[in-house]
Amino acid sequence: MGYRVVDTDSVEPKPDRPCECRKLSKPGGLDAAAINRFRAEPGEQLPLAYHYHETQQEAFYVLSGTLSVETPDETYEVPADDLFVVDPESPQRAYNPADADGPVTALAIGAPPADDDAVAYDPDDE
């Protein structure tokens, strides 16, 4: 058996990200799923780019604020305590709108973990 408690605030944010991103998988010893905690100020997006994953399912659980998720068909507004799920090959861009009242904090959970699975998506190419 194995157990771990991870102080998420002690995990250093990744540099060169559009918002604060704390990668929690490695500190938690996770190998079957990826988990990241994002905190985005108004006007910041969570991913590096509008993208999709080839094999990974991704879920965003909103801890505080309201997360906006742009897709090719519509933009979803996901309030605190709601979950937004993205299937493989489904383009999305999660962000906190510039006119938001404050930051948004969300957990992003992906399975299977896939470091090189993200594919940039350009909606203008449709």
- Burial class, 28, CB count within 10 angstroms (exposed 0-12 / middle 13-18 / buried 19+): middle
What does the pLDDT read at residue 48? 86
The answer to whether residue 12 is domain-embedded is no
Q: In the chain, what are the helix, strand and coil shares in percent, each to the nearest 5?
A: 10, 40, 50
Report yes or no on 42 lying in a domain: yes
pLDDT in tens, 34-55: 999 999 999 999 988 999 999 9
CATH assignment of the domain containing 97? 2.60.120.10
Which range marks the domain in which residue 76 is found?
Answer: 34-116
Please indicate, yes or no, if residue 96 is contained in any of the structural domains: yes
Query: 15 lies in a domain?
Result: no
Domain presence at residue 62: yes
Tens-place pLDDT, residues 76-122: 999 999 999 999 999 999 999 999 999 999 999 999 987 778 898 98
| 56 part of a folded domain | yes
pLDDT tens per residue, range 10-34: 999 999 999 999 999 999 999 999 9
pTM over 0.85: yes
Cβ atoms 59, 18 nearer than 8 A:
no
Please name the helix (run of DSSP H) or strand (run of DSSP E) that holds residue 27, with its range, or none.
helix 25-28
Residue written as tokens 């605190």?
80
**Does some domain include residue 72?**
yes
How far is residue 62's CA from residue 36's CA, in Å, rounded to a whole number?
12
Total domains, the chain:
1
- Residue 78 maps to a domain: yes
